[in-house]
Amino acid sequence: MKAAVWHDIKDVRIEQIEEPVVSSSQIKVKVEWTGICGSDLHAYAHGLSKEAHPISGQKPPITLGHEFSGTIVELGEDVSGHQVGERVAIEPLIYCGECYACKRGYYNQCNQVGFVGLNRDGGFAEYVVVDENMVHVLPDNVSFEEGALVEPAAVSFYAVRESKLKAGDSVAIFGAGPIGLLTLLSAKAAGATQMIVVDLSEERLKKAKELGATTIINGSRDDIAATILQLTNGGVNVAYEAAGVQPTMTNAVASVRQGGQVMAIAVYSKPVSIDMGQIMFKAADITSTLAYRHIFPEVIDMIATGRLDVKQVITKKIQLDDLIDQGFNQLTNDVKQAKILVKPTNN
């Protein structure tokens, strides 16, 4: 079968590999659509660990892709909760089930957490084998394209659900990439009324406006926090930091009101500093989320009922053969792109 296999930095090859085989408790899925995530771009540009993952036992070369949907084509002999032909989205977290976090149900905080598509062969392929607990059925009115967006939507929706946001509150979202835009949709669905989005890209800010942002602010301005404080009469209730750099964290802290909250969603490539004096003076909270847990069914229901219109974030669809040039390279260089979906098969 055809797959996009990571071999080394800037060395992802579209090649023929062996079709995966199911074990007793696994499910084989024919992949329909796979989304390109920032972590895929990071793996391409900066690399993956060359060590075998402690749970999956796999090390590179690895097939990338962890945001995907498809159709069940084969069941392991011990699988009883699913049927061949079901349309599904995949929750790609790998966890041990035995550590302190896992035993409390916090499997996303597993001390050996990994991802299908980063630590085990993933969804940039015609077929993939996953564990039964990773599989979530899609209703008939949820498309495969929307199914591929369940995973990134879960990141944003989980962060919003875990935050202090209440209906009628104001929010600021720093970063208008796919996660920031999905956070905007999630905050809107949760009842936020004033939604301010900050980004350096005018194209992404335009997309945020289309998705419901009440105010957009270019991140190059030097009066961002002052503007937000003025617009909200003292600051937002929650600031979501989805860019992962020092300036956005600094502005997020400065933009929350007394008793407000900063929720960090981004993955940080380097440490950032936080003005704890401001946090203390405001009696504000600063917290974060890692991925998601126990939320895929809720996200799928939000999409199925139209309360979370994730398809608005899709800006392009491509074939697997075009993954590097029209996928990775375009997302790196073209700020107009948000979520690019990849079709692994030609039918």
CATH code of the domain in which 266 resides: 3.40.50.720
Dihedral angle of Cα 179, 182, 186, 192, to the nearest 10 degrees: 90
Give yes or no: residues 94 and 196 share one domain.
no
pLDDT digits (tens, 9 = 90+) for 41-95: 999 999 999 999 999 999 999 999 999 999 999 999 999 999 999 999 999 999 9
Phi and psi at residue 267, in whole multiples of 5°?
Answer: -95, 130
Give yes or no: residues 68 and 105 share one domain.
yes
Give yes or no: residues 164 and 71 share one domain.
no
- Note whether 31 and 87 are within 8 A (CB): no
- Note whether 199 and 192 are within 8 A (CB): no
Q: How far, in Å, CA of 211 to CA of 254, rounded?
A: 25
Mean pLDDT of 210-238: 98
Q: How far, in Å, CA of 166 to CA of 1, rounded?
A: 48
- Note whether 278 and 253 are within 8 A (CB): yes
pLDDT digits (tens, 9 = 90+) for 128-143: 999 999 999 999 999 9
Residue 264 tokens read as 């960090």
Give yes or no: residues 91 and 64 share one domain.
yes
Query: How many structural domains are present in the chain?
Result: 2
Strand partners, 210: none
Domain that holds residue 52: 2-137+309-343
Question: Do β-strands 339-343 and 314-319 pair in parallel, antiparallel, or remain unpaired?
Answer: parallel
- Note whether 197 and 213 are within 8 A (CB): yes
Give yes or no: residues 215 and 280 share one domain.
yes
Q: Which residue has the tokens 């590097």?
A: 324
Mean pLDDT of 181-201: 97
pLDDT at 261 over 90: yes
For residue 347, what pLDDT is reported? 63
296 found inside a domain: no
Q: How far, in Å, CA of 120 to CA of 56, rounded?
A: 6
- Of 149, 115, 86, the residue nearest 300 (C-alpha): 149
295 found inside a domain: no
Give yes or no: residues 245 and 175 share one domain.
yes
pLDDT at 9 over 80: yes
- Of 123, 137, 183, 134, the residue nearest 310 (C-alpha): 183
Q: How far, in Å, CA of 51 to CA of 58, rounded?
A: 8
Strand partners, 318: 342
Angle between helices 224-231 and 246-255 (to 10 degrees): 30
Which residues does 272 contact at the CB level (< 8 Å), separation at least 6?
Answer: 245, 246, 249
Mean pLDDT over each residue of the chain, to the nearest integer:
97
Give yes or no: residues 96 and 168 share one domain.
no
300 found inside a domain: no
Mean pLDDT of 262-285: 96
Q: By three-state DSSP, how is residue 100 classified?
A: helix
Give yes or no: residues 87 and 181 share one domain.
no
Give yes or no: residues 55 and 104 share one domain.
yes
- Note whether 237 and 207 are within 8 A (CB): no
pLDDT digits (tens, 9 = 90+) for 144-161: 999 999 999 999 999 999
CATH of the domain at 29: 3.90.180.10
Residue 105 tokens read as 């149900």
Strand partners, 82: none
pLDDT digits (tens, 9 = 90+) for 293-347: 999 999 999 999 999 999 999 999 999 999 999 999 999 888 889 999 999 987 6
For residue 346, what pLDDT is reported? 73
